[in-house]
């Protein structure tokens, strides 16, 4: 732990509320399209298109909007109205304008760690949207660097460490996703901490427990302060 120089934070559902907004939007989409399929089947179809589209569109709200539109066209056998498509686009615009809400303990944690380590944001999503959210959050001044990553795999983290000019054992990642924020970092020799959020996107879930000397798990973000102090 004494070797750590950089602490990276995931943004969505680690620093800022995010997933509940997607769930709210998806409920509205399912209500809009419920004449074609059940809500459960519509959600499953949206999820399938999201995952299938990741290599093309990446993560974020714009990709999500396209996946909803694709789902609407598919389940309606191409008969969905232009009016319905416009409503889906409007749902996406609403999602892009959701209020920025910090999770409990975020500023307390950043204040406690600032100056002791280089603090960075390492998050996935749409570049413009993530930059907007971090700017509007008022947290930007805490961070040495903000990285919006195409994905969070070993290769992506190695590239980030290269840009930060540090070795894996000097890096500590904190986030709500075991799949994206923890496992790849442990695999390259870094430290990682899981701080679970009340809801997690299905694509980010794993079906096994993690046992590793460099792995930590906390219930709230500010519980990391005594660990790193």
Name 42's bridge partners. Answer: none
CATH code at position 24: 1.10.150.240
Alpha helices in the chain (DSSP H): 19-32, 39-57, 61-75, 82-96, 106-113, 127-137, 154-164, 183-187, 225-228
pLDDT digits (tens, 9 = 90+) for 14-58: 999 999 999 999 999 999 999 999 999 999 999 999 999 999 998
pLDDT at 206 > cutoff 80: no
Q: Which domain holds residue 30?
A: 19-96
Distance of CA 196 to the CA centre of its chain: 12
Let me know if residue 178 belongs to a domain: yes
pTM: 0.91
CATH code at position 129: 3.40.50.1000
Predicted confidence at residue 1, as pLDDT, reads: 74
Domain match, 122 and 219 both: yes
Distance CA 212, CA 79 (A): 52
Domain count, the chain: 2
Question: Which of 96, 112, 144 is the last residue in one of the domains?
Answer: 96
Domain match, 71 and 123 both: no
- Nearest Cα residue to 217 out of 184, 178, 185: 178
pLDDT at 204 > cutoff 70: no
Flag the least confident range among 50-64, 74-88, 96-110, 157-171: 50-64
Average pLDDT of the segment spanning 110-128: 94
Question: Which of 63, 96, 129 is the last residue in one of the domains?
Answer: 96
Domain match, 40 and 88 both: yes
């Amino acid at each position: 732990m004494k070797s750590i120089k950089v602490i990276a934070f995931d943004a969505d559902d680690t620093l800022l509320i995010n997933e509940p907004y997607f769930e709210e939007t998806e409920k509205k989409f399912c209500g809009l399209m419920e004449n074609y399929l059940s809500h459960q089947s519509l959600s499953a179809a949206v999820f399938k298109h999201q995952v299938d589209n990741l290599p093309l569109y990446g993560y974020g709200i714009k990709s999500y909007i396209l996946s909803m539109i694709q789902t609407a066209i598919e389940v309606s056998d191409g008969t969905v109205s232009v009016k319905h498509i416009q409503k889906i686009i409007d749902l996406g615009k609403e999602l892009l304008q959701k209020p920025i809400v910090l999770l409990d303990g975020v500023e307390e944690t950043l204040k406690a760690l600032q100056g002791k380590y280089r603090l960075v944001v390492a998050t996935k999503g749409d570049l413009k949207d993530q930059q907007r959210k971090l700017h509007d959050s008022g947290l930007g001044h805490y961070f040495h660097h903000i990285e919006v990553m195409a994905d969070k795999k070993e290769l992506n983290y190695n590239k980030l460490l290269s840009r930060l000019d540090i070795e894996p054992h000097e890096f500590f990642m904190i986030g709500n996703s075991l799949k994206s924020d923890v496992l790849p970092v442990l695999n390259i020799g870094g430290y990682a901490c899981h701080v679970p959020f009340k809801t997690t996107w299905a694509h980010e879930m794993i079906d096994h427990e993690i046992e590793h000397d460099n792995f930590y798990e906390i219930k709230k973000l500010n519980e990391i302060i005594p660990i790193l102090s």
